[in-house]
C-alpha cells in the first residue's frame, strides 16, 4: 500500500482531519451563540448585541440557550469520536511502518 493512499489527499486521514476542522468550527459558532444568549440572560443587552455583531450573528435573533447547549454537547461528542478514530488510524500507520 502506498503512502499516498494512507495519508494523501483522498485518504481517510485527510477526510477525518477535515471532519475535525469542520466540527471545531461548528463548536466555535455554537459557543458564540451561547455567549450571546448568556449575556442577554445576564441583562447585558448592549454587550450581547455588540458581541453578536462581532461574530456575524443577527443581534435580534432569538437564541434558545438550552438548544444551543445541546448542540454544543453533540458537537463535542462528534469531535471526540473523530479524534479517537484519527488516533487509532495513526497508530495503525505507525504499527505498519514499524513492522514494515
Q: Is 22 exposed, middle or buried (0-12, 13-18, 19+ CB in 10 A)?
A: middle
**pLDDT tens digits along 53-94:** 999 999 999 999 999 999 999 999 999 999 999 899 889 888
Total-model pTM = 0.77
- Kindly give, in sequence order, each residue whose CB lies less than 8 Å from that of residue 99, ignoring residues fewer than 6 positions away: none
C-alpha cell at 63: 437564541
Amino acid at each position: 500500500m502506498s503512502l499516498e493512499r494512507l495519508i494523501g489527499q483522498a485518504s481517510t486521514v485527510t477526510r477525518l482531519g477535515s471532519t475535525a476542522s469542520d466540527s471545531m468550527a461548528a463548536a466555535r459558532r455554537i459557543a458564540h451563540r451561547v455567549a450571546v444568549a448568556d449575556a442577554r440572560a445576564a441583562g447585558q443587552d448592549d454587550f450581547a448585541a455588540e458581541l453578536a455583531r462581532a461574530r456575524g450573528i443577527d443581534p435580534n435573533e432569538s437564541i434558545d440557550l438550552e438548544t444551543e447547549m445541546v448542540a454544543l454537547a453533540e458537537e463535542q461528542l462528534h469531535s471526540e469520536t473523530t479524534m479517537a478514530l484519527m488516533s487509532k488510524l495513526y497508530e495503525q500507520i505507525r504499527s505498519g511502518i514499524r513492522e514494515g
